[in-house]
Amino acid sequence: MSRKLVRFWFGVFATGWLWTALGQAQQLPPIEPPAPMPGTHSDAPTIRVTTNEVLVPTLVEKPHGGGIVYGLKQSDFVVEDNGVPQKIHVQEELDTAPVALVVAMEEGRAGWLEFQKLGKLGPLLEVFLSDPRSQAALVGFGSTARLMHDYTHSEEELAQSLQQLEPGDGGAAILDTISYGVDLLEDQPKQYRRVLLLISEERDHGSKHTKPAQLVSKIGRSDVLVLSISYSPSKAEFAHDVKDSGEDRMLNMVSTLVMAVQAFKKNIAKQIAIMSGGEYTTFVGDRRFEARVMEAAKEVRNRYLITFTPSDPTPGLHTIRVHTVEDYGAKIVARANYWREPPQ
């Protein structure tokens, strides 16, 4: 059998596996969602994109921890979709939208060992909520997710709820909880910057309603920024680059999906953050935890918002690469993937 034929049949098999996995994934049981945020107006300015556009939040940091690179313009950026440069639009001022924040905290397994740190989270959330329109909701999870507190701007209310964490069971349903958190955020107004702060271990234990392939698709379709702060580091690495070689494009895209699903099994907290354009960090002591939360909150505000209309209509998982025209030696943190739906 020729090499090309083998690759073709692999692509067919993998694509069939993907749609089967997505189709068989169960739906999360209904949970009472948070109420929509008050005070929003239909004439409010929006920074969101249409269904035909991809939003790429991009953080540009100076070398050696020297701070944020400000003042970049549209002509300074290059965005590649599966290796092909795209026509982009850049909102030149940094992200100034109000924040809709969901904080998802692990209560199951050994999560109770971190309750003392989590109980002090209230004042740290003030950095996320600096805009008076911004609001946060709290979610705790073990084998299932529970809404601890509806959206509020009140640091005092959040602090009180953080004192009511409950030791959970032996589960850590991270896949299910991320899916639930994305649903909560997508119910909020389009003009809000939607952020999921996940505080958990690295691996999923016990998700019953969300398959990895389903979550890859869901994150790829959403504009939710995931910030992950985990209990321990991981050596797992995720390869993002996909070569654009015409006839091999479907095979490469399927391979990227397979790599993403496999990476979920090693460190879901890290891979979800990478996919969405967020950050992944770890902590051990109280001070390091507080520093990580403060860093995450500040970095939400310092992202350039890049959008583009994909030139490649191929359905499936696409890989994004963002770089600057001039080499500043900067670290660029940007969305790594998006999901293209098949034509109706």
DSSP 259-321: HHHHHHHHHHHHHHHHHHT--EEE--SHHHHHHHHHHHHHHHHTEEEEEE--S----EEEEEE
pLDDT the model gives residue 44:
38
The two three-digit tokens of residue 157, written as one number: 């209310």
Q: With residue 217 as reference, give the H or E element that holds it.
A: helix 212-221
**How many residues are given for the chain?**
344
How far is it, in rounded angstroms, from Cα 23 to Cα 7?
A: 24
Q: Which pTM does this prediction carry?
A: 0.75
Strand ranges across the sheet with 145-152: 145-152, 135-141, 99-106, 193-200, 225-230, 280-282
Domain segments of the chain as ranges: 54-94+304-340, 96-255+269-301
pLDDT the model gives residue 12:
45
Summarize the confidence of residues 73-82 as an average pLDDT: 94
SS3 66: coil
Contact 194, 6 (CB under 8 A): no
> How far from chain centre, in Å, is Cα 64?
25
pLDDT the model gives residue 149:
95
**Where is mean pLDDT largest: 2-6, 32-36, 85-89?**
85-89
What tens digit of pLDDT does each residue of 188-230 get?
888 888 999 999 998 899 999 999 888 888 988 888 999 998 8
CATH architecture of the domain with range 96-255+269-301: 3-Layer(aba) Sandwich (3.40)
What tens digit of pLDDT does each residue of 36-75 get?
444 333 343 333 334 478 989 888 888 876 788 888 899 9
CA angle in degrees (0–180, nearest 5) for 335-76-84: 55
Q: Which residue has the higher pLDDT, 256 or 150?
A: 150
pLDDT the model gives residue 49:
39
User: What is the DSSP track for 16-48?
Assistant: HHHHHHHHHPPPPPP-PPPPPPSS--TTS----
1 band by pLDDT with thresholds 50, 70 and 90: low
The two three-digit tokens of residue 330, written as one number: 């900067």
Helix then strand count (H, E) for the chain reads 8, 14
pLDDT the model gives residue 104:
96
pLDDT at residue 244 above 70? no
Of 185, 194, 176, which Cα lies nearest the Cα of 140? Answer: 176
What tens digit of pLDDT does each residue of 273-294 get?
888 888 888 876 677 788 888 8
